[in-house]
Amino acid sequence: MTIKEVIEIMESHHKNFDPAQPTCDGVIAGDVSKECTGVALTCCPTARVIRQAANEGCNLLICHEPTFFDGWDKTDWLEGDPVYLVKKALLEETGMTVYRNHDHLHSDRPDGIFTGVAKKLGWEKYALSDEFMPGCCFQLPSTTVAGVAEQLAQAMGIDGIRIIGDPEMEVERAAVVFHFLGGDMDREVLRFVKENCVQVLIPGEVVDWTVGEYVQDGLFFGQKLALLNPGHFNWEEPGMEYMAQWLADDLGGAVPVKFFQSGNQYKWIAFD
């Protein structure tokens, strides 16, 4: 089976995607006419993941986020950049083809990334709806903010989560919500939080001056609200792990399919 054939099978899975929609998805690097020796899936196609995937015998890497540090993977602005040049050389050396699957996954109904998060947490049975935009509420068994944070960290394979709020606060209503990026969607998500009496928010990414400030001020005035921020890539990674499962089924064992965690971008420095 060629890489092109694998891509065609993958794209056919996304029945709701409008071909006329402008998209960042597609082949970012490599030769799709080659025989596919293995498919690697990850959230962020870092140099470490590229090397790891090649060492495991894969020559097709399907990622969710950009390869070349730009939302549309444009490279004209990187001419002569040393990091770009060595990463490009790594792709050429390993013979890796990179395909970005971002918009297709988010076009699935329900959303392919959010579904993976819910499945990884084991929260599907607690979901109050099957809609994920601007968020999905979950009615959990009684727990604490710290309990939710620990479950998130274990599911996402990370060693820490940033928090705004009281770790010991008891909660039953959590919401996985869209990223807070400083735009109009932030207001939609905050309306969703209020309308659904959310106690703990789990966004993919935050800017401090919208939701961060809102939660801080709410806490000052006695509101029972907390925010957990595992990080954009960690938050979306379970969606790519879930994709590895359904893609393997769609390919029917024709080629190996492996998931590679891109991992936490940040390390923790503790001070007394």
One domain for residues 226 and 244? no
Has residue 112 been placed in a domain?
A: no
Has residue 96 been placed in a domain?
A: yes
One domain for residues 22 and 40? yes
* Three-state secondary-structure class, residue 233: helix
- Is 179 annotated to bind a ligand? Reply is no
Q: How many CB atoms lie within 10 A of CB 1?
A: 14
One domain for residues 101 and 18? yes
One domain for residues 79 and 55? yes
What digits encode the pLDDT tens for the residues 93-152? 999 999 999 999 999 998 999 999 999 999 999 999 888 888 999 999 999 999 999 999
**130 to each of 14, 61, 135, 204, how far by Cα in Å?**
17, 29, 10, 18
One domain for residues 13 and 51? yes
Domain range enclosing 46 = 3-107+236-259
In the prediction, which pLDDT does 268 show?
A: 80
For residue 89, what are its two tokens? 């050389």
Asked if residue 61 lies in contact with residue 257, where contact means CB atoms within 8 angstroms, the answer is no
One domain for residues 14 and 72? yes
Q: Return d(Cα 113, Cα 236) in angstroms, integer.
A: 6
> How does residue 14 score in pLDDT terms, banded at 50, 70 and 90?
very high
Has residue 60 been placed in a domain?
A: yes
Q: Return d(Cα 165, Cα 169) in angstroms, integer.
A: 8
For the whole model, what pTM was predicted? 0.94
- Is 102 annotated to bind a ligand? Reply is no
Contacts 24+ apart (CB under 8 A), 7-11: 7/32, 7/60, 7/99, 9/247, 9/250, 9/251, 10/62, 10/99, 10/101, 10/247, 10/250, 11/104
Q: Phi-psi category of 57—alpha, beta or left, where left has phi over 0 and alpha has psi -120 to 50?
A: left
Asked if residue 176 lies in contact with residue 118, where contact means CB atoms within 8 angstroms, the answer is yes
One domain for residues 35 and 63? yes
Has residue 272 been placed in a domain?
A: no
Asked if residue 42 lies in contact with residue 262, where contact means CB atoms within 8 angstroms, the answer is yes
Has residue 117 been placed in a domain?
A: no
**96 to each of 10, 30, 47, 219, 250, how far by Cα in Å?**
18, 6, 11, 49, 22
Q: Return d(Cα 254, Cα 263) in angstroms, integer.
A: 28
One domain for residues 225 and 254? no
Has residue 269 been placed in a domain?
A: no
Q: Give me the number of domains the chain comprises.
A: 2
One domain for residues 202 and 164? yes
The pLDDT mean for the chain works out to: 95
Q: Return d(Cα 173, Cα 228) in angstroms, integer.
A: 13
One domain for residues 134 and 161? yes
Has residue 114 been placed in a domain?
A: no
**CATH classification of the domain holding 74:** 3.40.1390.30
- Is 92 annotated to bind a ligand? Reply is no
One domain for residues 74 and 131? no
Asked if residue 171 lies in contact with residue 126, where contact means CB atoms within 8 angstroms, the answer is no
The label of the residue with tokens 């015998």 reads 57
Has residue 264 been placed in a domain?
A: no
One domain for residues 12 and 103? yes
What digits encode the pLDDT tens for the residues 179-235? 999 999 899 999 999 999 999 999 988 989 999 999 999 999 999 999 999 999 999
